[in-house]
């Protein structure tokens, strides 16, 4: 059980909840009473902030002490409160432990100074006020004492800003962003996650400091973008990144989407249309679908053309978009599996066109090509179609979903394959291994798609191949022979 603790002197009455100390922190408090850490351990940052705002307990916690955080972590482990030895970072005076399943980061209060070419600081021990000043935003500087339950506001601005919903840096914003440029993205994330208003000059400082973001690794940038994309305010956050100029550093390919006119079917430019598609996704949409929505029209600007009748066209933008998706997501250090799934969704988002009926072969091709990601493709198509100009006829996906569901029962993706192995094909046609074998397998797979063969009926497949062997008795080519009707 946790214990609610509150200091009447510091608590802002119009905030929602008193902070809570969960069981692992109470154990640490009990352990360190009558030691040199008594009265000198404080929860800090988002764990305190979010409890005051929403009453929600975080799934990790930061603790700060003016003592030696690494020594404290060792004490906690030796007492058996942590199941595993702490992971320590002596250069920064920090340690990470897990207490009853709760990750706890212990930090020695410190001052930081930065080299202009790096975001890794030089660290010296400091006071609690020093530690508060080096943090990102005033709402993250509040301290909750583990031993006395008192809420402290070391800079005397954190509670006021939290109460008024103001996002402010503890020091001048230019200094805060120069020291750790990732905080520019964090500012955008917190602005929309918390619904806060940026302090005067904060947004201007991001624009003037944006080049500094180039020293930050894309792994760190990616993690911030993912957190923004997974929040309901993702379109607002993406718009702020665009308006602040940070996409110039992160993905300059997005810039031409702004003011790129799309023609009569659309009422928005490519960027605003993309934001509307993103907002039309379900709150439960997974990351891959959100990324696909963000990237689905990324190649419209470079493929844009206007025909002799004045119609705007974007021929091949889905294929070029898949290639651009690979390039950008690789730069952002996503896994190859994630990139493959997102790029495949981008490439296929035009496949259904405006059809309201789906043939069985077309359904099998979609099942083969997308398998478990087929529901994501349908959701992307639906969100895209819902973002067209009001009054434009949009695709009715209900019968298509029904057709795909019925087809998947009789012909799941695992059964849409050649009935014959490469070895069997070589024996039947008396050929050696090479490109022709793959071409024959693709022809047999096409017969499964057309419904003339079954993937588990090898006898019928062999009969079919012997009857059409003459089509394959020629030198291998780069293209498979056309399958007979």
The 10s digit of each residue's pLDDT in 462-482 is 999 999 988 886 554 445 555
Please check the confidence at residue 219 and state whether its pLDDT lies above 90: yes
Residue given tokens 């660290």 in the structure block: 123
117-127 residue pLDDT tens:
666 666 678 89
Give the Cα separation of 126 and 152 in Å (integer): 17
Per DSSP, the residues of 91-117 read TTTEEEEEETTEEEEEEE-EEEEE-TT
* Mean pLDDT of the 84-101 span: 92
Q: How far is CA 148 from CA 17, 130, 152, in A?
A: 17, 22, 11
Please check the confidence at residue 40 and state whether its pLDDT lies above 50: yes
DSSP β-bridge partners for residue 421: none
Is 96 in contact with 104 (CB distance < 8 Å)? Answer: yes
366-409 residue pLDDT tens:
999 999 999 999 999 999 988 876 767 677 888 899 999 999 99
Pairing of strands 20-21, 3-4: antiparallel
401 is written with which tokens? 């979903």
Secondary structure percentages of the chain, helix, strand, coil, to 5 = 50, 10, 40
Give 12's pLDDT tier (boundaries 50, 70, 90).
very low
Residue 125 confidence (pLDDT): 82
147 is written with which tokens? 């031993």
Mean confidence (pLDDT) of the chain = 89
The share of the chain scoring above pLDDT 70, in percent, equals 89
Is 135 in contact with 148 (CB distance < 8 Å)? Answer: no
Residue 391 confidence (pLDDT): 63
């Amino acid at each position: 059980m946790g214990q609610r603790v509150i200091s009447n002197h510091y608590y802002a009455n119009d905030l929602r909840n008193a902070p809570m100390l969960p069981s692992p922190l109470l154990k640490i408090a009990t352990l360190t009473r009558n030691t040199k850490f008594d009265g000198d351990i404080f929860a800090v940052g988002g764990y305190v902030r979010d409890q005051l705002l929403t009453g929600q307990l975080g799934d990790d916690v930061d603790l700060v002490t003016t003592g030696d955080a690494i020594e404290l972590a060792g004490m906690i482990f030796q007492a058996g409160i942590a199941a595993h030895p702490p992971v320590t970072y002596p250069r920064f005076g920090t340690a990470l432990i897990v207490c009853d399943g709760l990750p706890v980061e212990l930090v020695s209060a410190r001052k930081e100074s930065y080299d202009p070419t790096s975001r890794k600081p030089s660290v010296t021990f400091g006071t609690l006020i020093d530690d508060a000043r080096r943090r990102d935003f005033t709402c993250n500087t509040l301290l909750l004492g583990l031993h006395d339950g008192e809420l402290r506001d070391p800079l005397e601005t954190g509670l006021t800003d939290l109460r008024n919903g103001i996002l402010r840096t503890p020091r001048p914003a230019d200094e805060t962003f120069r020291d750790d440029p990732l905080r520019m993205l964090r500012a955008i994330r917190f602005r929309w996650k918390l619904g806060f208003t940026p302090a005067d000059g904060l947004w201007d400082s991001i624009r003037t400091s944006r080049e500094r973001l180039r020293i930050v690794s894309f792994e760190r940038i990616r993690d911030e973008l993912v957190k923004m994309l997974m929040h309901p305010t993702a379109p607002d956050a993406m718009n702020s990144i665009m308006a602040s100029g940070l996409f110039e550093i992160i993905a300059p390919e997005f810039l031409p989407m702004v003011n790129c006119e799309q023609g009569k079917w659309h009422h928005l430019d490519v960027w605003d249309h993309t934001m509307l598609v993103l907002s039309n996704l379900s709150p439960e949409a997974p990351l891959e679908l959100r990324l696909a929505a963000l990237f689905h029209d990324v190649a419209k600007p470079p493929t844009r053309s206007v025909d002799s009748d004045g119609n705007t066209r974007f021929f091949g933008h889905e294929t070029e978009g898949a290639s651009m998706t690979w390039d950008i997501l690789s730069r952002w250090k996503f896994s190859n599996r994630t990139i493959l799934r997102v790029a495949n969704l981008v490439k296929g988002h035009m496949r259904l066109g405006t059809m309201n009926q789906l043939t069985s072969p077309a359904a099998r091709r979609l099942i083969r090509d997308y398998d478990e990601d087929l529901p994501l493709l349908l959701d992307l198509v639906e969100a895209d179609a819902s973002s067209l100009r009001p009054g434009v006829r949009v695709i009715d996906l209900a019968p298509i979903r029904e057709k795909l569901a019925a087809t998947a029962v009789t012909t799941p993706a695992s059964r849409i394959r050649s009935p014959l192995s490469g070895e069997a094909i070589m024996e039947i046609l008396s050929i050696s291994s090479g490109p022709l074998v793959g071409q024959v397998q693709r022809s047999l797979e096409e017969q499964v798609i057309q419904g003339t063969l079954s993937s588990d009926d090898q006898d019928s497949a062999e009969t079919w191949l012997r009857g059409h062997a003459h089509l394959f008795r020629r030198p291998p080519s780069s293209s498979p022979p056309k399958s007979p009707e």
